[in-house]
Amino acid sequence: MTESLLFRGAKILGADSADILVQDGRIAEIGSGLSAAGARTIDADGLVALPGLVDLHTHLREPGYEASETILSGTRAAAAGGFTAVFAMPNTSPVADSAGVVEQELALGESAGYATVQPIGAVTVGQKGERLAELGAMASSRANVRVFSDDGFCVWDPLIMRRALEYVKAFDGVIAQHAQDPRLTEGAQLNEGAVSAELGLAGWPAVAEESIIARDILLAEHVGSRLHVCHLSTAGSVELIRWAKKRGVAVTAEVTPHHLLLTDELARGYDARFKVNPPLRTQEDVLAVREGLADGTIDIVATDHAPHPSEAKACEWQAAANGMVGLESALRVVHQAMVQTGLLDWADVARVMSSAPARIGSLAGHGTPIAAGQPAEFTLYDAAAAGVFAESDLHGQSSNSPYLGRDLPGKVLWTVHNGYATLEDGVLADRGARS
């Protein structure tokens, strides 16, 4: 039995103020002047109420890399960022390429209780790109996997990619491709351009991403199956997705918060916090992906939360690991890059960070409207707040954030998951396991 919560005066999707009553894990009532015997009352005056955020691209590292992150620490970070569900990428040890591993991840997420953890299954055994993993077994397991990806590795063999697209079509699954031609990026360190040339770092050409996207669009069209493009980063990639959608291809795409805001100019100090895959691109690319997200060409924002221990980043650029943590900062970065610039409103933010990722991932009970009778999965955001992003804002096990020391707008104050407050007035709740 969950406690009753009454939030007074929240601005649903940034619009009209209303009270939100939560009882028995659901939104019991929306209105003004609500009351309920025994309910805990919270002053939410002026706070923006959004459906619980859903991240289609999270690295939780467990099992195998618990020094970087665990499912418990990662979902605590998620709750602090306003997320109520995260999709866990399969590059664990062992790789999530079987029913046993994805069911283990699901159970660990249920035990932690801070967010729904939906495993993503690997496309190929061991993410080696040689033969298909147990896609059907993972789909029919208790984890009910519907998204498959070798993220971190491109499914480079076109025949393997075609077979994967054909296989998942039977249960309306989706292949999420890490678009990176490995031959074109051998030794690559930074976006190929003026900055990489000046710094003497091997260039990472945009065509390495775009050529794989183009090939996979044609394969998805040929097979009639669903394709999702992970962490799109170039202006050319946006044009390819726009072209594919005009053709009626069942393709969706994501962009990360860091590709909406940061550029390769930040690499000039050789600070490895800014080393990521795909790399930070140019200002022209940033403007193009913003436009693509604003006009619906790009469907969602996904964090690509990629924690690493300090020693993996506190070294020379060439030896440093790729990746950034991003769960706690994602909403604030989208606020700065998209809302403050007038490109999105809060209803759009709810779409690209909640309802659309839940739909793409076939995740029931998330991405639902803030309305009576719906599951109590939402977040309350103080859009008027602002501050310097600091290590105290991080709640996972790693601190490789590119935003440390940077001014960001907003603050997530409340996250409600499964009827419980997992974040209360900006402080993580410690309540133990939840069902």
- Return the active site residues: 304
Residue 149 CA to residue 350 CA, distance in Å, equals: 25
Joined tokens for residue 332 = 């604030």
Considering only CA atoms, give the Rg of the chain: 21
Joined tokens for residue 149 = 């990806």
- What 3-state DSSP class applies to 55? strand
Residue 335 CA to residue 403 CA, distance in Å, equals: 14
What's the per-residue H, E or C state across 26-37? EEEEEECCCCCC
Joined tokens for residue 298 = 């790009």
Residues 6+ apart with CB under 8 A from 130: 124, 160
Residue 26 CA to residue 336 CA, distance in Å, equals: 31
C-alpha angle with apex 283: 281 to 286, nearest 5 degrees?
70
- Range list of H helices, 248-371: 257-261, 283-294, 330-334, 346-350, 356-360
DSSP assignment, residue 355? I
- What 3-state DSSP class applies to 242? helix
What count of residues does the chain have?
A: 435
Cis amide linkage into residue 94, ω under 30° from 0: yes
Joined tokens for residue 264 = 């390769």
Joined tokens for residue 75 = 């979902």
* Complete DSSP assignment for 172-217: T-EEEE----TTTTTT--EETTHHHHHHTPPEE-HHHHHHHHHHHH
- Burial class for 266, CB neighbours closer than 10 Å (0-12, 13-18, 19+): middle
